[in-house]
Structure 1
Amino acid sequence: MGKENVVAENEIIIRENPVSRYLFNNTRSAWIWLIIRLYVGYVWLTSGWGKLGSPAWTGENAGAAIQGFVGGAIEKSATGGDVAGWYASFLENIVLPNATVFSYLVVFGEIAVGLGLILGLLTGIAAFFGSIMNVTFLFAGTLSSNPLLFILASWLVLAWKVAGWYGLDRWALPRLGTPWTRKNN
């Protein structure tokens, strides 16, 4: 390795390839992330918004939808389905007794992730929590759009530095101590 790669005696910096540098560190790629961000944000926002005010999610019967969902996942685990025993146990012992709380967490979590992605505010954090929700649904044996959303959200997490460039992150991140700098020629 050349001297330009060695920073300290035991530390070696490996240069990024041009594609990764363009996608994850260059604001010229922000338009790609804008499209992905708006799509994923729209899916989350409409999903959460559809649940808001629903009796089974946030109304007089709050928690009923979670109870049905968890019951189906536990049944899949008991019949040798695609839900792991440890996850079924978590659902049965933690989520089910607190179904009302988890119901509100799902609804407002989906809305918050959707708004964060659409507005481009704390994009990496919003995408991270969206991917966590996707994984919990996948663990419960629900495919739907979750695999695609998980992949896209993971990419947005990786691209956090430029994914919110066409959004509020452009101004918020420098104020929070994550500055972007312009290349001086």
Structure 2
Amino acid sequence: MDAVVLNGAEWFAVLRIGLGLWWLESWRHKDKKGWFERGTGIAWAADVAANHRWAAVRGGFDAVVRPRPTTMSYLVVYAELALGLGLVLGLLTPVALVGGLLLNVLYFTLMIHDWAEQGQNAMMGLISLVALFAMAWQTWSLDHVIGLF
């Protein structure tokens, strides 16, 4: 049996798709009823932000998130879904990669005191950067098929 050999562009597409699956899993395992009806995700983040060592995080959370918990709940949950679908399908891939990187930076900053969570955020951010600079949308993507990028 012949070995399957992928070229560099195909490996970058595998990396992009794997990152997309990671975002889809993050979306899938969220308790959406808790996030949307009870505000559990934002309430947890509010507690983390209130005790954060950086005043900018506390102030930013109070200015942006706290006044609109329902909107922010939907934004976080559906951003993860959109990122996952965009990366797996390769649709608007550069936008999804930059958006995912920004979301990971936000998560990383919020959770700076909890190093147990930082490995995942750091690796997802690194994969986003590598896939972005490798232009991982050029292979196995709708972007390539329809000539978007």
**TM beyond 0.5:** yes
The 8 Å contact of residues 124 and 158 in structure 1, kept in 2 or not, is answered as no
Match of 2:34 among 56, 60, 64: 56
> Given residue 123 of structure 2, which amino acid in structure 1 is its aligned partner?
L
The 8 Å contact of residues 122 and 169 in structure 1, kept in 2 or not, is answered as yes
Hey, what does 2:60 align to over in structure 1?
90
Q: Which runs of 5+ in 2 are unaligned?
A: 1-6, 113-117
Q: Which runs of 5+ in 1 are unaligned?
A: 1-27, 78-83, 179-185
> Given residue 48 of structure 2, which amino acid in structure 1 is its aligned partner?
G
Match of 2:142 among 147, 168, 172: 168
Select the structure with the greater relative contact order (CA < 8 A; seq sep ≥ 6): 2
Match of 2:52 among 52, 62, 76: 76
d(CA) in 1 for partners of 2:51 and 2:119? 18
Large movers: runs of 4+ above 3 Å: none
Match of 1:148 among 102, 107, 123: 123
What is the TM-score of this pair, normalised by structure 1?
Answer: 0.68
RMSD: 1.7
The structural deviation recorded for 1:153 is 0.5
Hey, what does 1:181 align to over in structure 2?
none
Match of 2:43 among 55, 67, 73: 67
The structural deviation recorded for 1:159 is 2.2
The structural deviation recorded for 1:144 is 4.5
What is the TM-score of this pair, normalised by structure 2?
Answer: 0.83
Q: Which has the higher helix share?
A: 2
Larger radius of gyration: 1
- The size of the alignment, in residue pairs, is 138
1:102 and 1:138, CA in 2 relative to 1: closer, same or farther beyond 3 A? Answer: same
Hey, what does 1:137 align to over in structure 2?
107
What SS class does the counterpart of residue 37 from structure 1 fall into? helix
> Given residue 154 of structure 1, which amino acid in structure 2 is its aligned partner?
L
